[in-house]
């Protein structure tokens, strides 16, 4: 049985409590939430290693999240893994995202060699320069690079949420476990935030 997911009311209270996303100031002005979607490592090299169940269900949710961010004019960042010794080498078919994922060439990209997309990349600088303060994550592996990036975001005082149903790992029960232990939101709840991005 899946762990209970975070309610929208709890999301709002968490955001207000987070120093990177401060609550109303003394002047009573509302604070704008500036989200970004990270689509992590959905590459041909790693796709066959994911569970059949996750491969069957996650692409639809990933694409729904991508479409939602595009609808509201919010950024989608492609995150690729390329280990200096083990690859996959940029520019190769193994490096590319699987064709079913609706990323675009014009979406900004980050290439990492470590599990967290924040380590030895310019991701944090990109987010700071565009004043992003809430990070939504999808992709693979839920138990590896997505999880490491989730904690990396929190360590840098970004609010972080997994997109429910949009994660993959080698074992679908572990994917569920990650969604259960992390703050996870359905695509519908993400829409609620994008529709009214002010606190």
pLDDT of 2 above 80: no
The stretch 89-99 carries a mean pLDDT of 97
Q: Which residue has the tokens 């479409």?
A: 67
Q: What is the DSSP string of 9-55?
A: HHHHHHHHH-TTS----TT-PPPBP-EEEEEE--BTTTGGGS-HHHH
pLDDT at 15: 53
| pLDDT given for residue 30 in this prediction | 74
Tokens of 175: 């994917």
Instruction: Tell me the mean pLDDT in the region 150-157.
Output: 97
Over 80: is that where the pLDDT of 7 sits? Answer: no
pLDDT of residue 28: 60
| Ranges 30-34, 103-107, 109-113, 145-149: which has the least confidence | 30-34
pLDDT of residue 6: 52
Beta bridge partners of residue 168, listed in sequence order: 140
Listed by start position, the domains of the chain span 33-195
Q: What percent of the chain has a predicted confidence (pLDDT) above 90?
A: 80
* Residue 187, pLDDT score: 97
On the question of pLDDT at 3 being above 50, the answer is no
How many other C-beta atoms are found inside a 10 Å radius of the C-beta of residue 60?
13
In this prediction, residues 107-114 reach a mean pLDDT of 98
Instruction: Name the architecture of domain 33-195.
Output: 3-Layer(aba) Sandwich (3.40)
Whole-number pLDDT of residue 12: 52
Question: Do strands 134-140 and 109-112 pair parallel, antiparallel, or not at all (unpaired)?
Answer: unpaired
Contact present, 10 and 62 (Cβ < 8 Å): no
Closest of 175, 183, 96, 192 to residue 135, by C-alpha: 183
Residue 20 clears pLDDT 70, i.e. is over it: no
Those residues whose C-beta lies under 8 Å from the C-beta of residue 145, and which sit 6 or more positions away, are 40, 41, 79, 81, 112, 115, 116, 117, 139
């Amino acid at each position: 049985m899946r762990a209970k997911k975070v309610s929208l009311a709890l999301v709002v209270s968490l955001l207000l409590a987070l120093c990177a996303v401060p609550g109303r100031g003394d002047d009573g002005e509302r604070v704008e939430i500036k989200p970004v979607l990270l689509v992590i490592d959905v590459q041909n090299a790693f796709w066959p290693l994911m569970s059949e169940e996750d491969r069957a269900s996650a692409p639809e949710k990933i694409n729904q999240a991508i479409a939602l961010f595009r609808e509201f004019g919010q950024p989608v960042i492609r995150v690729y893994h390329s280990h200096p010794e083990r690859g996959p080498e940029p520019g190769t078919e193994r490096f590319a995202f699987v064709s079913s994922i609706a990323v675009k060439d014009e979406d900004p990209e980050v290439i990492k060699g470590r599990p967290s997309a924040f380590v030895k990349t310019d991701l944090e600088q990109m987010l700071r320069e565009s004043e992003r303060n809430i990070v939504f994550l999808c992709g693979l592996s839920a138990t590896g690079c997505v999880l490491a990036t989730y904690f990396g975001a929190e360590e840098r005082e970004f609010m972080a949420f997994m997109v429910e149903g949009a994660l993959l790992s080698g074992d679908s029960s572990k994917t569920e476990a990650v969604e259960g232990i992390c703050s996870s939101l359905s695509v519908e709840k993400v829409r609620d935030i994008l529709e009214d991005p002010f606190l």
